[in-house]
Amino acid sequence: MALFAALIFITHPLQTQAVTYIIQRHASLAAMFYLLSVYFYMKARSLQQDAPWAELERLRVDEKPSGLRLKTVGLYAMCFLCGILAFLTKQNTATLPGAILLVEYILFDRTWQGWKKKLMWFAPAFFLIGLFILYVSGLFKGGIQFGGLLEDVSDILRASERDLGRWVYLCTQLNVLVIYIRLLFFPIGQNLDYMYPFKTGFFDGYTPAAFLFLASLVGVAIWQSKKRPAVSFGILWFFITLSIESSIFPIQDALFEHRLYLPMLGFAIVISYFVWNWISVRKIWRIAISMLIVTMLGSATYLRNRTYESKLRMWSDVVSKSPQNVRAHYNLGNAFYKKGRPYDAIKSYSEALRIKDNYALAHLNLGVVLTEMGRLDDAIRHLSEAERIRPGDARIQISLGNALMRSGRLQDAVGHLSKAVRVAPGLAEAHNNLGIALAQQGNLKDATEHFLKAAAIEPHDAKIQTNLGQALMLQGDMSKAAEHYIEAIRIDPAYAEAHLNLGVIRLRGGDIDQAIKHLSEALKLRPGLTQAREELDRARRLKALRNPAYRE
């Protein structure tokens, strides 16, 4: 039964998001610490009294009482430590005290007298844990936002900011919990990003029916607590481990499959119990049923994992299942762009904007693609709209400045790039692009200052080093320019422009051999570099003049 439950836990296709999708691997790490904490608590309690499940771990007769006490204290200390590590990994593990109380009641002590004595120990321990949770959550620093600590995704994927009331979120979660249960039994139509809509109140949709269904499940757990404690444990474990993310703490996204990683244990225990203790068939048939279930789950997991082979396949899957999911279209556009398919990227970004016309990031990325394609008027229009929506975004200012610079509107470009520098002074790209715009205006002195700032922020960027070298070269400071070109080549030996400019400097300085070396390398890297060919021909002619062939 234990083996079958473990196999359900590790082969269920719902676990793919927590395990395969890298951004959610903290869910599995938090679950490890969470389960270790429960395990150490159970081990410590089994040393204090013989629990039904501990018959296989009888204490040695010759073990000394002092050693027993020390071992018990050590196990409790490990329980506490793993609980702290679990919470520091992911804040939904604040449910651990509730899980430990459930373990204590189901496995060890159900008497009122016993629980009265335990309050002396539980109360101070849980008080300390509560203080720690509140401290980490920021209560003592002011402005606690517990729901923000539970966000599952980055800003790029997160739902649009909106004021979520606790009642609205709770009513939505009543429906979400039913969806979770359906997915546990029938993992069909899995989706990386459901973008589940929020309910408006208790009587919106099937919320009353969902409430009655969930209440009946809790009633079954209470009713079966004595006759079938494994069933009670599994049901209550499911609700306890989801009680942070699916309760009254508003999170911007209502439903994600990876939230079921830890609650899956409760489901696995219930299914395993029914197969091995409820079905009245021979043992061989129970083994066959268990193997069939595990095979089906494993096959579904294998097929589901294929969706994660690439971002393109992943977000295409989401779009096919949620065609009105604006984030899915946006991220599919990003995947197309990275694959070198700009027209498909434009189509996806445009679809995202059709669904949500004030989506700043979609305007931004669409503007970037259009800029690269030379459609500058359309690019500026979308980037200007992105700036209107998010005027303080440095990336938008940089992209808009680049588009204006390419269209020849240098003064406007300098204005936006200067704003980007003010908003994000530590962003090397902002200084570098502002330097380029200033250099095109002929303001080489200010351009050099910004190139120097960019190089100080990103000293290992070959393009910045080359831009700085070129600005110094145009001002006649050949020695310093050469230093930066040499640094650019050291960072990126295949940077043709750096070889070209260093070759030109060496040629002007009379070092013809070095000039030929770098100009030849530039042509080797970029055969179509006309200036490199012209300078190389000139260097070879000069060398021929210095070293004429011997004639009788």
Give dist(CA 227, CA 225) in Å, integer: 6
Q: Kindly write down the DSSP assignment for every residue of 412-426, as one continuous string.
A: HHHHHHHHHHHH-TT
Which DSSP symbol is given to 160?
P
> What pLDDT does residue 125 have?
75
> What pLDDT does residue 157 have?
40
Q: Where are the domains of the chain?
A: 2-306, 459-552
Give, in degrees to the nearest 5, the angle at Cα 12 between 7 and 13. 150
Angle subtended by helix axes 166-185 and 207-223, to nearest 10: 70
Q: What is the pLDDT of residues 390-431, one digit of tens each?
A: 999 999 999 999 999 999 999 999 999 999 999 999 999 999
> What pLDDT does residue 487 have?
95
Report the amino acid identity of residue 1. M
Which DSSP symbol is given to 106?
I
CATH top class, domain 459-552: mainly alpha
Over the chain (552 residues), the average pLDDT of each successive run of 10 is 95 93 84 96 84 44 61 91 91 90 90 79 77 67 49 45 79 96 95 92 93 96 92 96 89 91 96 88 89 96 94 95 95 96 97 95 96 95 96 95 95 95 94 96 95 95 95 94 95 94 92 92 92 91 72 46
State whether the Cα torsion 331-335-336-338 is positive or negative: positive
Q: Give start and end residues of each alpha helix (H) in 207-359.
A: 207-223, 229-241, 264-277, 283-305, 311-321, 326-338, 342-355
> What pLDDT does residue 62 have?
46
Which DSSP symbol is given to 158?
S
Report the amino acid identity of residue 520. S
Average pLDDT, the chain: 88
Q: Hey, is 152 helix, strand or coil?
A: coil
> What pLDDT does residue 154 have?
42
Report the amino acid identity of residue 236. L
Give dist(CA 40, CA 323) in Å, integer: 46
Report the amino acid identity of residue 361. L
> What pLDDT does residue 388 have?
95
